[in-house]
Amino acid sequence: MINYLFEVTLAMGVCYAIYALWLRNETFFQLNRWYLLGTPAICLLVPLCDFSMLGDSPNQEPTAMVLDPIVVTVQQLEQSLEEIVVTPVATTSTLSIQSILLWIYGIVAIGLLLRFGFGLWQIFRLARRSRIVKHGQYFLAYTDQIHLPFSFFNFLFWSEKIDFPKEEQEKILEHELSHIRGGHSIDVLLLELLCVFLWCSPFIFLYKKSLRNVHEYLADAAVLRDTPTQYYGRLLLKQFQSGSQIALAHHFFHSQLKNRIIMMTKNKSSHRARLKYLAIIPALLLMTFILSSKNMLSGISDHSEELALFDGDFDKEKVRQQLVKAISYYNNENTALHQEKAFKSIAELTTQLTTQYPDHVNEIVQMTKGIASDLKVPITFTWAEGAARLVRTHDHASSNDAGEQIFKVVEEMPQFPGCEQISNADERKTCAQRALLKHIYSNIKYPVKARDNDIEGVVLLNFIVREDGMISNLNIKKDIGGGCGEEVLRVARLMPQWIPGKQKGEPVAVEFNLPVKFRLDGESKTIIVKDKNTADDLADMEVFQVVEEMPRFPGCEDIADKAARDQCARKKMLEFIYGTLTYPKAAKEANIEGMTVVRFVVDKEGNIVNPEMIRSIGGGTDEVVLETVLKMNEMEERWIPGKQKGKAVNVVYNLPVKFKLVDDTPTEAQVEAPVTKPVENTLQLNKFDLYPNPSAGKINIDLELPEAGAILAITDMNGKLVHQQKLSAQQMKITDLDVSSAAAGPLFINILHKGKSFTYKAILQK
């Protein structure tokens, strides 16, 4: 947004400079009027123009390898549990400079919009209080207030408090009628609205002032057709006075009196002078080209300036910020040429980082993978000769080299990655097909437009797996509309690097056709997998998204009220998750945070089956989330299965788990006992009991220490120190300890003694 406003301002500056230096003194008033109205509109479009050109994908024959069909069904609102926040430390948030500037821009724009509305209200209020007389195509509004004559659309406001000689009245009337007939009020409103949107550009106000002058020149010219110039000039000088003026109206006694008299006495411009207006064409073309070229190279230029920021010791947070900024440029660019520039910029950045900080290569790799996963940017790291190398997981452009042979069928077909460790060829093929299905189902969504318009059918995607396993030449050969083709392309571009196909032992390029079927299945939506070989675990299983009675976590079946029972089950589940889930060490060390989502099925017997990560951030978070979910099957009681029409059915759940890293710098109140970050238990207690857990606001603690003198400190999930005290005895019972001031969620009870610590996690519910 800020870049766009800057580029619009730059373009308007060029256009206004041409007017001020070359066109302003010409007597082509109507041409100047359209120039001042048209060029701001063109300047709004200039930054949006793009001169980059993409070649069309070469046509491929329809006999390419066809993968097993994938069926995508509309997903109703799935049962999603509360967001689980796993936080080892407290969090802080900061506003970026760009956010602050956008806030300032919005506040000023709203203020100007209110000012604009107030100006309209002034005119409407004056009209309601006036005596209005219709004269042909305009209305003469006589007011009882002292003000200068002015016009607004087809209303001419005239003060009965000011008396003009009859002959002067006729000239003033003719002047204002010229404004009305010319529709000048529309011009004023358009420029006022542009001033609201482009208030940060000084040129819009110059445009506004110049257009007002041109309006007056046009009205003066209309009067001078049957009035001597000297007489009219003396009239303006005689009647020039101050008075109450309304910003949106046209006033006869305009303040730019000197300019008006100069233009009245100026000789008419020659017809040849009209050629000056053609200067705007090359100026706009040059400006468009410059701004387009700037956008094409913005990723590289921005990063080249930022590389100098990495002087000195390794700063994890600074490195992460720069990686986020660099990788996000890839998604901001919408053409293959731009993305190529952005990719090279990211590669330069990661190469410098891994070269400059060889002892932190693993951290940089993990951070980049996590950021790319969060932002859905198709890049990843591979290792070559002990160094990190950035590669793209797809290629948008059609980049076949001349003469390159593209195979339809080869001895060893390409395979989706993830199953290379399987030695049996058939099992490896089945595993690869299942991994491809999982990738598609985990990422694809039924487009809203297609769903709303009941669009169903098969989208056929054609692509090439190149010799290095990269995906290229993505092309929709058959589309059904409604955004389905675009959605298939989006998901395909997220595919990782494949295992390339081989012919006579050599890797070769192979063409594929992938049919994706979009189908609407009525009220009860199911996950449909046509090929049992690719999904044996889901074969013949009807899985519901929403049912009459949803599954529940066990332990609350003695509660009769349904709402209270569901609430209790949700609390029990949260307590289980908080007591089981831990922040992976690798994720903490690599500074990885973000949202993961695990999907699982609660089957008819209450078992957790088919858990899979549908959103990942890496760093071992997938493993701990899946492990936590699978531990539910080890409980003494199984889940209470969902029911549809009184019968137990299989139901899908989505469980979002958010991992958040926050600042662990101790505050002044935490210096004595820095407990904002839970640590491994190194202090062994003879006894520790906390109840109730979860708690509604007060807790009881029964503990036995190795010796007296320890410190008890309690913090909430935001790192706020809720309670702190010294434990003077070895055995203590602390009753009715008030922790209601803490944020709802996990509480960390920390006991520190002689450099050792004990940490216990409780749940506060509000």
Write the pLDDT tens digit of every residue in 691-715.
887 788 899 999 988 888 888 888 8
User: What DSSP character marks residue 640?
Assistant: B
Q: What pLDDT was estimated at residue 54?
A: 38
Express as a percent the part of the chain with pLDDT over 70: 77
Q: Is the pLDDT of residue 521 over 60?
A: no
Averaged pLDDT for residues 226-250: 65
Averaged pLDDT for residues 603-615: 86
By the 10 Å C-beta count (0-12 exposed, 13-18 middle, 19+ buried), 104 is classed as exposed
Q: What pLDDT was estimated at residue 39?
A: 92
Q: What pLDDT was estimated at residue 301?
A: 40
Q: Is the pLDDT of residue 296 over 70?
A: no
Q: What pLDDT was estimated at residue 111?
A: 92
Choose the weakest-confidence range: 120-134, 321-335, 416-430, 569-583.
321-335
The DSSP code sequence of 245-308 is: --TTSEESS-S-HHHHHHHHHSPPPPGGGGGGGGGHHHHHHHHHHHHHHHHHTHHHHHHHHHGG
Choose the weakest-confidence range: 1-15, 18-32, 372-386, 742-756.
372-386
Q: What pLDDT was estimated at residue 50?
A: 56
Q: Is the pLDDT of residue 118 over 80?
A: yes
Between CA 53 and CA 335 the distance in angstroms is 9
User: What DSSP character marks residue 34?
Assistant: H
In the chain, what is the greatest distance between 2 CA atoms, to the nearest angstrom?
A: 110
Q: Residues 212, 217, 223, 225: is their CA dihedral positive or negative? A: negative
Averaged pLDDT for residues 188-198: 91
> What phi and psi, each to the nearest 5 degrees, are found at residue 266?
-80, 145
Averaged pLDDT for residues 14-19: 91
Choose the weakest-confidence range: 215-219, 250-254, 548-552, 600-604.
250-254
The DSSP code sequence of 132-146 is: EEEETTEEEEEESS-
Choose the weakest-confidence range: 132-141, 387-396, 481-490, 693-702.
387-396
User: What DSSP character marks residue 47?
Assistant: G
Q: What pLDDT was estimated at residue 387?
A: 52
Q: Is the pLDDT of residue 15 over 70?
A: yes
> What phi and psi, each to the nearest 5 degrees, are found at residue 701?
-125, 130
Q: Is the pLDDT of residue 110 over 90?
A: yes
More confident residue, 54 or 189: 189
Q: What pLDDT was estimated at residue 244?
A: 42
More confident residue, 430 or 530: 430
Stated as kind and residue range, the H or E segment containing 215 is: helix 202-223
Averaged pLDDT for residues 183-198: 91
Same fold, 397-533 and 562-659: yes
User: What DSSP character marks residue 685?
Assistant: P
Antiparallel, parallel or unpaired: β 721-727 and 155-159 = unpaired
Nearest partner of 460 among 410, 514, 500, 502, judged by Cα = 514
User: How far apart are the two ends of the chain, measured CA to CA in Å?
Assistant: 40
The pLDDT tens digits for 555-599 are 998 888 887 888 888 888 888 887 788 888 888 888 888 888 888
Choose the weakest-confidence range: 2-11, 23-32, 103-112, 330-339.
330-339
Q: What pLDDT was estimated at residue 92?
A: 39
Q: What pLDDT was estimated at residue 680?
A: 45
- Best-predicted range by mean pLDDT (295-304, 447-456, 531-540): 447-456
| In contact, 630 and 610? CB cutoff 8 Å | no
Choose the weakest-confidence range: 9-13, 36-40, 336-340.
336-340
Q: Is the pLDDT of residue 205 over 60?
A: yes
The pLDDT tens digits for 617-646 are 888 888 888 888 888 988 888 999 998 888
| In contact, 713 and 690? CB cutoff 8 Å | no
Between CA 509 and CA 488 the distance in angstroms is 22
Q: What pLDDT was estimated at residue 133?
A: 92
Express as a percent the part of the chain with pLDDT over 90: 10
What distances in angstroms separate CA 271 from CA 268, 274, 422, one per listed residue? 9, 6, 83
Between CA 336 and CA 334 the distance in angstroms is 7
More confident residue, 331 or 632: 632
Nearest partner of 719 among 670, 657, 764, 659, judged by Cα = 670
Averaged pLDDT for residues 93-118: 82
Alpha carbons within 13 angstroms on the beta-carbon side of residue 360 total 20
Q: Is the pLDDT of residue 660 over 80?
A: no
- Model confidence band, residue 524 (pLDDT cutoffs 50, 70, 90): very low
Averaged pLDDT for residues 23-39: 90
Nearest partner of 342 among 320, 326, 353, judged by Cα = 326
- Model confidence band, residue 540 (pLDDT cutoffs 50, 70, 90): very low
User: 393 in helix, strand or coil?
Assistant: coil
Task: Tell which CATH classification among 3.30.2420.10, 3.40.50.720, 3.40.50.2300, 1.10.3720.10 matches the domain 397-533.
Answer: 3.30.2420.10
Task: Tell which CATH classification among 3.30.2420, 2.70.98, 1.10.287, 3.40.50 matches the domain 562-659.
Answer: 3.30.2420
CATH number of 668-764: 2.60.40.3080
pLDDT, averaged across the chain: 76
Between CA 227 and CA 221 the distance in angstroms is 10
Q: What pLDDT was estimated at residue 114?
A: 94
Averaged pLDDT for residues 421-440: 83
* Radius of gyration, CA atoms only, the chain: 36
Domain layout of the chain by residue ranges: 1-53+270-296, 101-265, 312-392, 397-533, 562-659, 668-764
Q: What pLDDT was estimated at residue 131?
A: 92
User: What DSSP character marks residue 487?
Assistant: H
Other residues' Cβ atoms within 10 Å of the Cβ of residue 38 = 12
Averaged pLDDT for residues 438-462: 81
More confident residue, 512 or 737: 737
